[in-house]
Amino acid sequence: MRSPDGHLIDPNAGVSGKEIADTVQCCHCGMHIQVTKDTWKNTGWCLNCNKVRCTKKKCQSCVHWEKRMEAYEKTETEKRRLRLAFDSV
């Protein structure tokens, strides 16, 4: 594969290991998908990001995983801050 996002390696094969497979990362959730000859039947392509995306429902809308994570961090941190404030009352 020309531009993989990860490699699966058998470290005991040969002198410095042997690459078994490549992985590609979903641009919307960050999941790595092992590349096989059937991978392309089960993955999508985001025309906006120009990258592979997985078939999960939440990944059909174009939101980059880092943006999603930032939003999650913001809401979770606020939620926990409020919970702590509520517990101390």
Partner 1 sequence: MPKYHIDGTDTNTDNTTMGYVSAHATVPRRTRIHDIILGSRVAPVDQAVGYEFSRITAENGAPGGTALTPVPLDPADAAATNKPRSAPTGEPTYGGGIVLYIPLHQRPTMRWVSAKEGAELVTPAVADDGIGILSDTPTTAFAMIWGMDFEE
Give the residues lining the site for partner 1 (CB under 8 A).
4-12, 17, 20, 22-23, 25, 29-32, 34, 56, 65-66, 69, 72-73, 76-77, 80
Nearer Cβ to partner 1 (6/44): 6
CB distance 23 to 44 below 8 Å? no
CB of 65 to partner 1, least distance (A): 8
CB distance 33 to 4 below 8 Å? no
Residue 69: C-alpha distances to residues 29, 37, 53, 63 (Å):
9, 31, 16, 10
CB of 46 to partner 1, least distance (A): 16
